[in-house]
Amino acid sequence: MASTAAPGSAGAAPAGEQEHPEGVAICGPSLSKGAFYPEDGCCPVCFNDLTDTNALQFACGHVQCAACTLQLFAQSELDSCPQCSATCSRERAKAMFLAADQAAEGMVHSLFDGQSAAAVVSALPDLTGAAAKYLSNDGGPALERADSNDHPVATAVGGATAAVMPDLLDAPPDVNFSGDTGLADALSMLDSPDAATRMNAVFHVRKALSVEESPPLQEVVESGRLPLLVSMAQGSGPVRLQFEALWAITNVASGSSEFTNAAVEAGAIEAAVAAAGSSEFNEVREQAMWCIGNIAGDCARLRDACLSQGAAEAMARGMSSESASIAMTRNGVWAASNLVRGKPKPSLSSIAPLLPCLARCLLSDDAEVLADASWGFSYISDGPNDGIEAVIECGVVHRMVGLLESGLPSLTVPVIRTLGNISSGDESQTQEVIDAGGLDAMVPLLDSPKRAIVKETCWTVSNIAAGSPSQVDSVISSGFMQAVISKIAEGSFDGDSTREAMWVVSNATAGGSPSAAQSMVGMGAAMALCRGLEMSDPRIQQVALEGLSNLAQSGALTPEDLTETGAIDAVAELQSSPNSSVAAAASAFCEQFATSDD
């Protein structure tokens, strides 16, 4: 979802929205469903349906579900809308937190170590930090990857413990930095001539940067010691020193864009790329990949900077190691997905080394690895046909159809999006989805309770239905056409899904054979298209008119059929449409197909 500037004053709530006493919109039937309300009715983060009891609206008008809002609070103080950065006061943020907790049925207990919502609110800081890091370069809020059911994101993940061997996690002896001056003392000792003191110092700096609430990023950057940490991360000293320095830099890069850029200016990309591709230690490679993922996820400019310094090649070498742990693979595929995402798109040549890695990850049995790899392929296939062809050449289409059939919730959206992107390519690329059994796998998705999945499924098959006559026959023989026509007739779809479903039917009438048209009429295609005439969207009215015209021209719909189905009457009414294109198309249809008795 694209990032949108907040209209007017950040403190002014949209007209008609229900307000909390402190001024923040909360859940309820009065919640404003204006321009910023998601068109598909789904949370832009997790794709779950928004309802009157779980949708929470920021003062600027943007909406997301209460559970995702709570997860943002769990990761950092939040003083602005994560979708447009419109600021809110501390009191507004506190009210938003309480409203989200109430709507999410006490989810706060699981996110905040069993504390009550009141206790968490009383401990909220002054909320002075910006939430810019929760904006991905594609827009929209970004969440940590802790739950494989969440949408994978570009935003950095900082402060968590990396999966390392026990000897690397043990605190070095004689840590002497403590109290109010502890961090300052540690920073000043990073260049001590004594090796043990340097080790203790970098360990203390890393520990300070790993706290979840208000890590001292500003103090570390302003100390001017980042270049020294980068030098340690380049591996000229003990491996423990390199690991701790990389971890510290990773956490700096997980802050706002200001801190990510500071890490880059200090040389973090070069150090992380070198470690990711050449270190003999899994733990060091994993931490380096984490660092690359944080930097690449900040924006397209830094993503390209990583790629230009060889990040893709280094990641490919590191991830191809036979000793790669599951933790390293998870971090690696997440970082790889950040390197291939974003707009403007990276050049295909710059990310080519990552494609075999992503393909291998699709063979994993780990849900988190599978989800990130699937999202990676969805980003690569979104665009020109050369990206689609690159995905096909990886040999992953059959595997992705199999993953779709697995029913894992975290995989459905990225897989169906990838298959939809592939089906939007040329005829031979579309055929790959058909040959892999994609149509059969997508029929059950029409019954999904997630409206976003139904919509994307119909969009995918509308691409296939726009193909050759044999491809239209495949849509029919799979049972998808009958299922979608029945759903339209029953009124089972929401508005967005119905729009995409109309394209499925209309596209098939344009490219199908006369026998296909006859089969579709027998399924009730004419009545389904008449539903499109009743919609308020002029473009869909035109799509429905084109479908009816195609069926009539093929001879599958006779003048009597047009009269009996009510199509002629419905089209005749559109002759007075305020939309000139619709009115003209309706008049042309009536002139060609209406009988003198109509």
- Comparing CA positions, the residue from 485, 495, 474 lying closest to residue 446 is 485
Indicate which CATH number applies to the domain containing 551: 1.25.10.10
Residues 6+ positions from 226 with CB-CB distance below 8 Å: 220, 249, 252, 262, 263, 266, 268
DSSP assignment of 224-273 equals: T-HHHHHHHHTTSS-HHHHHHHHHHHHHHHTS-HHHHHHHHHTTHHHHHH
Scored b (16 or more CB within 10 A) or e, 521-549 reads bebbbbbbbbbbbebebbebbbbbbbbbb
- Comparing CA positions, the residue from 510, 531, 595, 516 lying closest to residue 561 is 595
Cβ pair 469, 508 in contact under 8 A: no
The greatest distance separating any two alpha carbons of the chain, rounded to the nearest whole angstrom, comes to 101
- The answer to whether position 291 is within a domain reads no
Helix, strand or coil, per DSSP, at residue 558: coil
Helices (H), 55-116: 66-75, 90-103, 108-111
User: How many distinct structural domains can be found in the chain?
Assistant: 2
- Residue that terminates a domain, selected from 97, 117, 143: 143
- The answer to whether position 52 is within a domain reads yes
Instruction: Check residue 64 and give its pLDDT.
Output: 77
CA distance 105 to 96: 14
User: In terms of C-beta density within 10 A (0-12 exposed, 13-18 middle, 19 or more buried), how is residue 287 classed?
Assistant: buried
Peptide bond into 344 cis (omega under 30): yes
Helix, strand or coil, per DSSP, at residue 322: coil
Name the DSSP class of 61.
S
Helix, strand or coil, per DSSP, at residue 65: strand
Helix, strand or coil, per DSSP, at residue 19: strand
Angle at 212 between CA 80 and CA 76, to 5 degrees: 10
- The answer to whether position 46 is within a domain reads yes
- Residue that terminates a domain, selected from 80, 111, 143: 143
- Comparing CA positions, the residue from 384, 476, 467 lying closest to residue 432 is 467
CA distance 407 to 423: 21
- The answer to whether position 484 is within a domain reads yes
**What global pTM score does this model have?**
0.72
CA distance 271 to 40: 43
Q: Token pair for residue 541?
A: 């009215």
Instruction: Check residue 87 and give its pLDDT.
Output: 55
Q: Token pair for residue 213?
A: 């609430």
- The answer to whether position 429 is within a domain reads no
Cβ pair 142, 153 in contact under 8 A: yes
- Residue that terminates a domain, selected from 108, 143, 178: 143
Instruction: Check residue 479 and give its pLDDT.
Output: 97
- The answer to whether position 316 is within a domain reads no
Helix, strand or coil, per DSSP, at residue 56: strand
Instruction: Check residue 33 and give its pLDDT.
Output: 57
Instruction: Check residue 562 and give its pLDDT.
Output: 92
- The answer to whether position 191 is within a domain reads no
pLDDT along the chain (598 residues), means of 10: 26 32 42 61 70 70 74 56 57 64 62 62 44 27 28 35 40 50 87 90 92 90 96 87 94 92 97 93 92 94 97 94 82 95 94 96 93 96 95 97 90 95 96 98 95 94 96 98 96 92 96 96 96 94 96 93 92 94 94 74
Cβ pair 33, 57 in contact under 8 A: no
Q: Token pair for residue 476?
A: 């029919």
64 DSSP β-pair partners? 56
Domain that holds residue 122: 1-143
CA distance 248 to 258: 16
- The answer to whether position 165 is within a domain reads no
Cβ pair 217, 232 in contact under 8 A: no
